[in-house]
Structure 1
Amino acid sequence: MATVSYVINGSKPVAPETAARVRRAMEELDYHPNAVAQSLRTRTTHVIGAVISDISNPFFATLIRGAEDCARENGYSLLICNTDERAENELVYFELLRHKRVDGMLIAPTGRDDDGIRDLIASGMQIVCVDRKLDGIAAPAVLSENEEGAYRATKYLLDKGHYRIGIVLGLSHLSTTSERLRGYKRALAEAGLEVDESLVVYGESQVHTAREACRDLLIGPNRPTAIFATNNLMTIGVMAAVHEAGLRCPQDISVVGFDDFEWTSVFNPPITTVAQDPYRIGVTAVKSLLANIQRSKSGIETIATPEEVRVPVRLIVRNSVKTLSRR
């Protein structure tokens, strides 16, 4: 029995021919180890929970692909939960994953209820935040250079002669939104321009809400000459609103997006955009989480000031911005 246990758990070396005989017998008997019993004995399940907003969003789909690839390479599997940006869903999934005894969690926080994450940390659960962070909570995070990306996009529009630049932001309580707004404001300030609050609207990170928000920007004689949409889905909504208003991009209005996926290059016109690297975010987050899990198992205290990793972004220039004469 001990030899069988060694083969199943890999806890001690076994002669190759003996291990082969054991595995052959297991196949003939259709024997499958009890995963729950194994986890109780080894105190590990080799499962990571991933609590994100919506896997149908291409950004999160790519992030999860990177996380899963890295997890698999290290002998872990991923259990994915979609919150739909609802705090009540987030709390239910936290409890579910704890009951399933996952070894750690990747979390894209809804930002609506910090207590759930505080409770996880207090219980000893290893977590890494992805895409968003929570102020005042000591947890590692892997994020994009959100402020820098928004700064570059806005500065590019300014350099092209645009001074009335509308911005369509995501959910107001998320760190990504506040960081991208800071980048927009910084570029305007460097150009000696004050922020016109009538040009700042919130599209709630979705296509239909961004379309409605953009309609408000396009009403009236003093509309912006350019619009900066601060995520991938809202870029689609902005382009839809521009089309519905009977305007042409970039002849009548210029558009810059945030996120780069296949459709941005096949749009008519192809969209200038800030490219994130969600696959790298996913890989980096899993590496950080596994390192912390290993430290915890070894009895090593976690770092007092958790690491925050920023993954670089880049501006990809295409054909959606018109050059205006300098004022």
Structure 2
Amino acid sequence: MRKTIYDVAKEARVSTATVSKVVNNSGRISNKTKEKVLRVMEELNYQPNSAASILNGKLSYSIGLLIPDLANPFFSEFSRSIEDCAHELGYSVLICSTDFKKAKEVKYSTFLQQKKVDGMIIVSGSQDEAFIKDLIDLKVPTVIVNRESTMSVDIVSVDDFIGGYEATKHLLELGHRKIGTIQLGDLALGKERIRGYQRALDEFGIKYDKSLTLFSSPSATIIEGKEIALEILISKNRPTAIFAGNDILALGVIQAAMELELSIPEDLSVIGFDNTVISAMSIPPLTTMAQSIQDMGRVSMNLVMEEIKGVQKNKQKILLRPELLIRKSTKEFPNNF
């Protein structure tokens, strides 16, 4: 039998008004009481009557999340971060994977609006902005993550320029002078990381060699990373180090090196980007530019919740700084000293 607000109040030994405050995330209530009520709600599998709330113009207590690819560890870890934050606030999350395709972004955006989600978080995908403009025009609280926009909307992103700069600088300080890079094509973040890569080369007095810059598809796989890496590693202009646009591409580079019987990091240094769970599991463990995926999820949820609550503020672009995490896939290259 479906549990009611009265069942929750009785079990938690609080008033129905207190349960209502927790459900609606409103009013003054101690964290201890809130946690107790949320625990009882979970134990009883209590579900607020969201359909009635929607008809009355109230909140549905749900967030829509559009991500390009759930199979990518970065996006799956980010989704988990959003889900954890939402759970603490009494919200559920509807997740849709768009495969970097404009048609799917539009389709799922429409679907989530029909579900009356209270807000939307949109992670980098296609560069089309038409459906985002529709959300803004419809006054749907919206936050976009890791993508650029010319519209008035909250943005949460990592500082990709700094990431590209710091990754390349690390390799240069190890003595590498011929550094290749494989970046995610068609995405603004890839362009920014290349810009940082070029800045570091310039500071060390090294001329940018376009032939050492290669691109993958936005939804790059380890196999694709391997194929691209083989292309550059069998060339006469073989680099001594490669900066990859994410950890997946970096693992592809490592596999390509193994196939060519090149030792990591003795013959080739490799650095990735993201610090997803797979980076520590690679052999050798991968040096990477670490993004705080949990912080990115928390900031994104805070921004969309502020808009849902009607907090008046200017739209923000929040850049989170990545940090170099040195493991075993990079090493000094003394021949260049």
Please give the range of the TM-score, normalised by the shorter of the 2 chains: 0.7 to 0.9
SS in 2 for 1:220: coil
| Residue identity matched to 1:61 | S
- Superposed, 1:36-47 pairs within 5 Å as 36-47=51-62
Determine the C-alpha separation between the residues in 1 that align with 2:49 and 2:308.
Answer: 23
The question of 1:177 aligning with 2:186 is answered no
From 301, 323, 326, give the equivalent of 1:314.
323
3-state SS of paired residue (1:69)? helix
**CA offset at residue 32 of structure 1?**
7.4
Is 1:142 the counterpart of 2:156? The answer is yes
What is the Cα deviation at residue 92 of structure 1? 0.2
2:297 alignment counterpart: 282
1:1-327 residue pairs with structure 2 within 5 A? Answer: 34-130=49-145, 132-170=146-184, 172-204=185-217, 205-295=220-310, 300=312, 302-303=313-314, 306-325=315-334, 326-327=336-337
Q: Separation in 2 of the partners of 1:153 and 1:47?
A: 38
User: 2:73 corresponds to which letter in structure 1?
Assistant: P
CA distance in 2, matches of 1:294, 1:125: 12
Quote how far apart the aligned CAs of 1:62 are.
1.5
Q: Deviations over 1:25-80 (max 9, x none)?
A: xxxxxx97643222121431111000001122111122112211111111211110
Q: In structure 1, what is the Cα distance between the partners aligned to 2:214 and 2:76?
A: 26
Count of aligned residue pairs for this structure pair: 300
With normalisation by structure 1, the TM-score equals 0.85
SS at structure 1 position matched to 2:310: helix
Q: TM-score, normalised by structure 2?
A: 0.83
Which residue identity is paired with 2:279? Answer: T
Which residue number in structure 1 is paired with residue 34 of structure 2?
A: none
Q: Are 1:45 and 1:102, in contact at CA under 8 Å, matched by a contact in 2?
A: yes
> In terms of mean alpha carbon deviation, does 223-232 or 260-269 score higher?
260-269
Q: 1:20: which partner in 2? A: none
Question: Is contact 1:60-1:278 (8 Å) kept?
Answer: no
In the TM superposition, what whole-angstrom CA distance separates every residue of 1:254-289 from its partner, at most 9, and x where no partner exists? 111112234323432222111111111011100111
CA shift digits 1:228-248 (9 cap, x unpaired): 111021111111111122211
Q: What amino acid does structure 2 have at the position aligned with 1:319?
A: K
Task: Answer whether contact 2:198 2:208 (CA < 8 A) is retained.
Answer: yes
The one-character-per-residue Cα deviations of 1:215-239 (angstroms, maximum 9, x if unpaired) are 1111223300111111021111111
User: What is the distance in 1 between the residues matched to 2:147 and 2:127?
Assistant: 12
Q: Spell out structure 1 runs of 4+ moving beyond 6 A.
A: none
CA contact (8 A) 2:129 2:149 kept: no
Q: 1:109 to 1:117 in 2, by over 3 A?
A: farther
Partners of 1:93 and 1:32 lie apart in 2 by: 24
Distance 1:316 1:37, change over 3 A: same
Provide, for residues 136-185 of structure 1, a one-character-per-residue CA deviation record: whole Å limited to 9, x for no partner. 12211111122112111100111111111000101x22121111111111
Secondary structure of 1:150's match? helix
Counterpart CA distance in 2 for 1:220 and 1:42 is: 63
Change (3 A) 1:295 1:220: same
Going from structure 1 to structure 2, the CA distance change for 1:121 and 1:32 (only over 3 Å counts) comes to: closer
**Structure 2 gaps, min length 5:** 7-15, 28-45
Mapped partners of 1:104, 1:268: distance in 2:
41
Which runs of 5 or more residues in structure 1 are unaligned? Answer: 14-30
Q: Aligned partner of 1:54: which letter?
A: D
Measure the CA separation in 2 of the matches of 1:195 and 1:151: 13
| 1:55 alignment partner AA | L
Instruction: Find the residue that maps to 1:295 and give its secondary structure.
Output: coil
Amino acid at match of 1:93: Y
Q: Distance in 2 between matches of 1:294 and 1:164?
A: 52
